[in-house]
Amino acid sequence: MDIENIIQKHGYNEELSNFIRSVYPLLVKYYNNEEIVYESLMSTPIKLTNNVYDCLIDNGFLRDTPTNNEMVSLETLKFCSGAYHCEPVIKYDKARDKYELENTNRIIAINASSLELDTVKATLIHEICHLIKSYNGEHTIREDTLIEKSGFISKTFQLNEVNGVVKRTVCFETGVGLEEGFNAVAEEQITSELIGKPFTTKGYQLMRSLANNVLSYNIPNLHEVLKEAEIYHDNTRVDAILGETYYKLLAFGDKLYPMLVDLLNPSNNLVKMKEISSNINSVIDAEYEPIRKELETIGNKSIGY
Ligand SMILES: [Zn+2]
C-alpha cells in the first residue's frame, strides 16, 4: 500500500500531497487498519473549493438526493466548512424485481483555498475520518430498503423506481450525535499530533465533551472497541461491554445534536442563543445523569481485572 498511488490517482498538488503523506500514518495508527485507510482514500477525491455545495453540483452530485427527514438539511452544505459526501448508484432489475448497488461515488469537499491554517487541516481530517468510518460496507440493500452506515450513524431509505430512475427517500436516521462526538475526538487527537501542539475543535464541542465523558470511566479497551465498531458497523463487542447503556447514549446524542445545530446557526441573536443553551442544559441535567451513573458502574466493575 503505497501513499504515492493515492496522490497520483487524484493528481493532488504539492500541498495536498504533503498533507496526505504526513496524515496517513497518523490515521493508520488511530484506526489501526491500514487497508481501510488506503482503500477509502484511493476511492475518494479531495477538492478544495470556495463553496462546498457548488463543488458537489459541479462534480455530478446532488442530482437526485432526498431532502426530507434528515437531521441536518442539505441547505447547511451551502455554508459549511467541509463535507464527506457519498451517493450510491442503484439500479432496479425489473425481471428479478430487485434493487442492486451498481457503484458508489464519493467526494470530500473543503471550503478553503489552501491547507495553511490549522482549522482547515482539522476540517479535512474530520471529513477523512467520516470517510474511513463509512467506507467498509457503507450500503446494504434489503428488498426495497437501503441502509447507509457511517460510524455509529445508520440511515434508512425507501427505494422507489419511477420511469427507470431509482429514487431514495429518507425514512429515519440514528446515531448522528454520538458519531459527531467521537469524530470530533478523532479530529482533535489526529490534528494535535499532526501540528505538534494541542488542538481544540471549533465545531461540535458539546458532542465532543459527551464522547470524552463516555471515555472517562476507565472502562477497559472501550475506545479501541468503539473505533472498531465505527469502522466495521458491527456493535457486537460494544454490546458486550456497554449493553443497553450504548443505546441510551445513542438516543441521548440524537436528542442533543439537533439542539446544538440550532445553537450554531449563524442567524441566531443573543436572546435566541441563551434560550437554546438553557434548553440544552435542562436536557443534559434531566437525561444524562442516569446514563453517566451506568457508565460509572460499568467502569467500577472492571477495576481489579
Ligand atoms: Zn462531521
> Over 90: is that where the pLDDT of 282 sits?
yes
Cα of 131 vs centre of ligand 1, distance in Å, is 10
Mean pLDDT of 29-57: 96
* Residue pointed to by grid coordinates 459526501: 85
Cα(31) to centroid of ligand 1, in Å? Answer: 17
The Å distance, Cα 203 to ligand 1 centre, comes to 8
* Per-residue pLDDT at 78: 76
- Mean pLDDT within 149-162: 96
Quote the ligand 1 centre to 184 CA distance (angstroms).
7
**What is the Cα Rg of the chain in Å?**
20
Mean pLDDT over each residue of the chain, to the nearest integer: 93
Find where cell 441563551 sits.
274
Q: Identify the DSSP state of 200.
A: -
Share of the chain above pLDDT 90, in %: 86
Kindly report whether the global pTM for this prediction surpasses the value 0.85: yes
Strand, coil or helix: 101: strand
The stretch 82-109 carries a mean pLDDT of 95
* 59 CA distance to ligand 1 middle (Å): 21
Q: What is the mean pLDDT of residues 195-212?
A: 93
**71 pLDDT higher than 80:** no
CA of 91 to the centre of ligand 1 (A): 29
Q: Is the pLDDT confidence value at 75 over 90? A: no
Residue 97 has pLDDT above 70, yes or no: yes
Average pLDDT score over residue span 162-178: 92
Q: Which span out of 66-80, 185-199, 250-264 was modeled with the highest average pLDDT?
A: 185-199
Average pLDDT, stretch 264-273? Answer: 90
The Å distance, Cα 296 to ligand 1 centre, comes to: 27
Confidence of residue 304 (pLDDT cuts 50, 70, 90): low
Q: Sign of the C-alpha dihedral, residues 146, 223, 107, 259?
A: positive
Q: How confident is the model at residue 66 (pLDDT cuts 50, 70, 90)?
A: low
pLDDT by residue (tens digit) across 139-148?
999 999 999 9
CA of 204 to the centre of ligand 1 (A): 8
**Partners of 111 in the beta sheet?**
49
Scored b (16 or more CB within 10 A) or e, 146-167 reads: bbbbbbbbbbbbebebeeeebe
Q: Report the pLDDT averaged over residues 251-261.
A: 94
pLDDT number for residue 80? 84
Residues 112 and 127 sit within 8 Å (Cβ to Cβ): no
Does 45 or 167 have the greater pLDDT score? Answer: 45
Going edge to edge, which strands form the sheet with 46-49? 46-49, 98-111, 82-93
Q: Is residue 44 within 8 Å of residue 108, measured between CB atoms?
A: yes
Inter-residue contact 245 to 295 (CB < 8 Å)? yes
Distance 19 CA to ligand 1 centre (A): 20
- The single-letter code of the amino acid at 126 is H
Distance (Å) from CA 180 to ligand 1 centroid: 5
Between the CA of 30 and the centroid of ligand 1 the distance, in Å, is: 17
| Residue 64 confidence class, pLDDT cut points 50, 70, 90 | low
Rounded average pLDDT over 175-188: 97
Q: 97 CA distance to ligand 1 centroid (A)?
A: 36
- Judged on CB neighbours under 10 Å (0-12, 13-18, 19+), 102 is exposed
pLDDT of 200 > 90? The answer is yes
